Amino acid sequence: MSAMKKWASILVSVLLICSLAACGGGAANSGSSQNSPSSSDSGSQAVSSGEKKKLTVWYIDTGKRKELIEETIQEFMKAHPDVEVAAEQIANDTYKTKLPVAMGGNNPPDIFHSWGGGWLKEFVDAGQVMDVTGKIDADSYLPAALNLATFDGKLYGAPLAMSLTLFFYNKEMFEQYGLEPPKTYDDLLNIIDTLNANGIAPISMANKTKWPGALWLIYLANRVGGADIFNAAFERRGGTFDDPAFIKAGEMIQELVDRNAFVTGFNGLDYDTGQSRQFLYTGKAAMELQTSGYLTVVRSEMPEFESKMGIFGFPAVEGGLGKATDLVGGVSPVFSISSQTKYPDEAVELLKALTSKELAQRYVDEAGVVVAVKDVQYNDPFAIQMKEFLEQAEFLQPFYDQTLPPEMAELHKDTTQALFGKSITPEEAARQMEEAAQSMLGN
């Protein structure tokens, strides 16, 4: 018995030592590979000629967009017979966990998806992302989209598609009650009252994941406080997150809740399983503020609804500084290259293919989205409308949670959900945001 115990303990300690040593080796490796982006040319030639150069791509686009990305990669491999591309599509929420783990484990994909902004910046700051300034043609992308992948004047990726936040509404229902898309915020309030009087929930929302509600705060803050309200606070040049405009936006949200503007129990409903769209499909609610991905989802989920559906922009608030044409939006995907890639030249080529005009054109034609690539023809009626919104816009406000550092982004979404749930006052929400900003962004 005692011999066995001894053996077991020896074995365990050997195992522990082995695994510790393995970990140490990994860390040492990462240190040396950090230098690889600078010596980009030597890497690709070092490989023996017989072997294929292997690149991995991680992306999250689904449905039609997934097919188009796959086709693009097939074409790329035909054009580059010496390169083998392994592309993996990963579900959105899984991806947010999987990429940090892969980066931390020094086993990142060569090309990876992001939304630009604060999330990408975490990886840039960690030295995990290759600087592609000058390697790709910045002039072929919309500047507003490119901004989200630019840090300290250096470019860390290229954008493909964009998403805009708009109201999606039931046209037939609006006609039935003699309603017009609102020009002003007061119009919107009147629409809400009319619909409520007719027993229809005015606005559907599934706010379990918190970002759908955040869209309201971002728009209201923009309409009340003007285009610069967020950037002034974020860049710490005179603005603050407890600015009266943010407080006013919080108050307006709570007034909407008091007015019964939203469907019951919205804070517990799940967007991904369609719990908000259900209200529109079944004629129980009239409209929903969502990103342009809504269209893709409706087309695959309930194609019959598309003919009834219309879109309008967020109305202007009387006396507010923001313009009715300003848009809230974001970029997805932004493709970036890992600084640890063994084949930087090929990776840049693939990056260009994944954000090319050709692919963008097919995204527009076949998936009905707006893209971040210039000189693309729009034919899909919804895409044309969205493109017009984009063209009229003098200012595109990126989603706060994609711009702020992750911890503040979460606080922003938490406090906004609490505002909707009326478990926090607008003043308190603003104070918490400003306090976090002071500790994380400086005074």
Partner 1 sequence: MAGDAARIRRQNKLGKGLFLLFFIGPALLIYAVYNIYPIFATFYYSLFDWTGIQAEKTFLGLENYANLMKDRVFFRSLGNNVLLVFASVFTQIPLGLALALLLQSKIKGMRFFRTVYFLPFLMSTVAIAILWMFIYNPTFGVLNGLLSDLGLQSLQRSWLGEKSTAMGAVIATICWQFVPFYMILLRAGLTGIPEELLEAARIDGCTPWRTFTRITLPLLMPTIITSATLSTIGSLKYFDLIFVMTEGGPDSATELMATYMYKQAFRFFSMGYASAISSCMFILAFIAAVAILSLDRLRSRGGY
As a whole number of angstroms, the distance between CA 43 and CA 201 comes to 60
Smallest gap from Cβ 212 to partner 1, in A, equals 12
For residue 6, list its beta bridge partners: none
Question: By CB under 8 A, which span of 26-34, 72-80, 252-260, 367-375 interacts with partner 1?
Answer: 26-34
Smallest gap from Cβ 236 to partner 1, in A, equals 20
Does the footprint of partner 1 cover residue 27 (CB under 8 A)?
A: yes
Does the footprint of partner 1 cover residue 21 (CB under 8 A)?
A: no
381/406 with CB nearer partner 1:
406
- Sketch the per residue contact string, 268 through 297, with partner 1: x for CB under 8 A, - otherwise: xxx--x-x--xx----x-------------
16/79 with CB nearer partner 1:
16
Tokens 């959900």, residue?
A: 417
> Closest Cα partner for 372 from 116, 75, 99, 66?
116
Q: CB within 8 A of 228, min separation 6: which ones?
A: 239
Cβ atoms of 331 and 291 within 8 Å: the answer is: no
As a whole number of angstroms, the distance between CA 72 and CA 253 comes to 43
Q: Quote the tokens at residue 393.
A: 């816009």
Smallest gap from Cβ 199 to partner 1, in A, equals 13
Q: CB within 8 A of 441, min separation 6: which ones?
A: 234, 236, 405, 408
Does the footprint of partner 1 cover residue 23 (CB under 8 A)?
A: yes
Does the footprint of partner 1 cover residue 264 (CB under 8 A)?
A: yes
Smallest gap from Cβ 7 to partner 1, in A, equals 5
Does the footprint of partner 1 cover residue 209 (CB under 8 A)?
A: yes
Return the residue of 42, 423, 438, 439 that touches partner 1, per CB under 8 A: 423
Footprint of partner 1 on 88-107 (CB under 8 A): 96-97, 100-101, 103-104, 106
For residue 349, list its beta bridge partners: none
Cβ atoms of 296 and 367 within 8 Å: the answer is: yes
As a whole number of angstroms, the distance between CA 167 and CA 170 comes to 10
Handedness of CA 146, 310, 209, 407 (dihedral sign): positive
Does the footprint of partner 1 cover residue 425 (CB under 8 A)?
A: no
Main-chain phi, psi angles of 393, to 5 degrees = -70, 130
Question: By CB under 8 A, which span of 43-51, 52-60, 118-126, 322-330 interacts with partner 1?
Answer: 118-126
Does the footprint of partner 1 cover residue 113 (CB under 8 A)?
A: no
> Closest Cα partner for 337 from 35, 109, 36?
109
Return the residue of 38, 107, 126, 357 that touches partner 1, per CB under 8 A: 126
- The whole-angstrom distance between residue 30's C-alpha and the CA centroid of its chain comes to 29
251/414 with CB nearer partner 1:
414
Q: Quote the tokens at residue 229.
A: 């309200």
Interaxial angle between packed helices 406-420 and 244-258, expressed in degrees from 0 to 180 and rounded to the nearest 10: 40
Residues in the chain: 443
Smallest gap from Cβ 97 to partner 1, in A, equals 5
Return the residue of 208, 248, 308, 412 that touches partner 1, per CB under 8 A: 208
Does the footprint of partner 1 cover residue 325 (CB under 8 A)?
A: no
Q: Quote the tokens at residue 256.
A: 């909407």
Q: Which residues bind partner 1 (CB under 8 A)?
A: 3-4, 7-8, 11-12, 15-16, 19-20, 23, 27, 30-31, 34, 96-97, 100-101, 103-104, 106, 122-123, 125-128, 201, 208-210, 263-270, 273, 275, 278-279, 284, 406-407, 410, 414, 417-418, 421, 423-424
